[in-house]
Amino acid sequence: MESKREPVEIMKPFNGIHGGGFVRESLRGIPAARGTVGLHNLGNSCYMNSILQCINQIKPITGYFLEGDYQKELNKANPLGSGGRVATAYGSFLNDIWGGEYSVVAPRILKQTVSMFAQQFNNNYQHDSQEFCQYLMDGLHEDLNRVREKPYVEAVEAFGMEDGKAAVESWRKHLLRHDSIFVDYTQGMHRSHLTCPACGKESIKFDVYSSISLPIVPAKEGSSSVPLKACLDQFAVGEQLDEHNAWYCPSCKRHVCALKHIQLWNTPDVIVLHMKRFTFEKCPDEDGKIIRRKIEETVDFPIDRLDLSPYVYGPKYEDAPPVYRLFGVSEHTGATANSGHYTATVRNSGDGNWYRYNDSHVGSSSGDAAVTGGAYLLFYQRIRGSLRWAGMERQMKDDEDGFKEVTGKKRRNRR
């Protein structure tokens, strides 16, 4: 039977591009479930495998690729994209994962293609899975951007404006340059309020995000873990920027360590929470040498119901509330993000069961098994209903002028 074929080692270097060869080819066989397939390690590529196992379970986006709809929206002329090559390679990868023919896939072509356009990944070094996730989702967005000619737009200064109007105007300008299935499902907006500590000058901007970076607060004495709520609460408190992230105050005419307060205006159907496990600190014993430290605290995050309602500042809708179910966790073991090993624990979008992925090895698991000190990226999906553009489509319809100007372009409805 085909499923009993032995794996074959095939040596295939590919023009000096790492991930191109000296690795096992895909292994034909019956997967544990449709869409649940192991991934060969191509040389410290576990960071990539961990992310691919998570994002390939985003059902609406995966369906868009499997049905071939992405081919109609490839933007080969976008200078910020790859000429459609990354999206095409990802589509081919998904066909292998969901085709039911393989038990293990070697994502060589996808790794090679990404490495052509992101040279930082063109090696056999370990990388940060969060950085790879950000690049891949941004790269796929640009390859599939429905905007063919991007106009120049200036950011909206929202200080003194009514928040709803400022949000609509900011999103309207965003859509003039960015419009893809990733915008539909994975991008939201937050309200960023900066205050100069010297002169009191204030600035408010509505910025687009595709992930939220959460600080990890210390566990209370006698407790073995930190509730995710405590991390969300700390995120909502705000912070003072350090000198590396200083804000230019137009009144003082210099960079200042401003006070920054971020509030979520809305949340997309798919939201990624990035636990800030890695910090940079000065070592007092080595003349101020900067060292990177990992926070090993276990964050106790909900599996079946994460309610973000208390943290959403903008409009909320009863038919699609900001309540989420976990479907994936990118996990890390080791001292730094660029060393150690990455794995993933993921809920299959088809059968609803949990599986643990350690490169080519796949086994049954549970969501609770992912609640460890290694949980690094948390992938959540809205439980009920769907909101295009994180709800901005509805908000813009209420603000007719903003909506009519954007819909003046020829647009495709998403599935």
46 catalytic residue (yes or no): yes
Q: Which residues contact 233 (CB under 8 A, 6 or more apart)?
A: none
178 catalytic residue (yes or no): no
Radius of gyration for the chain, computed over Cα atoms and rounded to the nearest angstrom:
22
Q: Which residues contact 73 (CB under 8 A, 6 or more apart)?
A: 144, 146, 180, 181, 412
Q: How far, CA to CA in Å, does 116 sit from each of 19, 49, 112, 128?
A: 11, 18, 6, 18
Q: Which amino acid is at 272?
A: V
Short-list 36, 21, 29, 26, CA closest to 2: 29
SS3 category, 255: strand
Q: Of residues 193, 261, 274, 341, which has the active-site annotation? A: 341
Longest dimension (CA), the chain: 75
CB 42 within 8 A of CB 125: no
Q: Of residues 18, 40, 46, 196, which has the active-site annotation? A: 46
DSSP for 366-385, written as a single string: -SGGG-STTEEEEEEEESS-
Q: What is the DSSP letter of 243?
A: G
Q: How far, CA to CA in Å, does 65 sit from each of 144, 150, 193, 415?
A: 11, 24, 38, 12
Q: How many CA atoms lie within 13 A of 369 on its CB side?
A: 14
Active-site amino acid positions: 46, 341
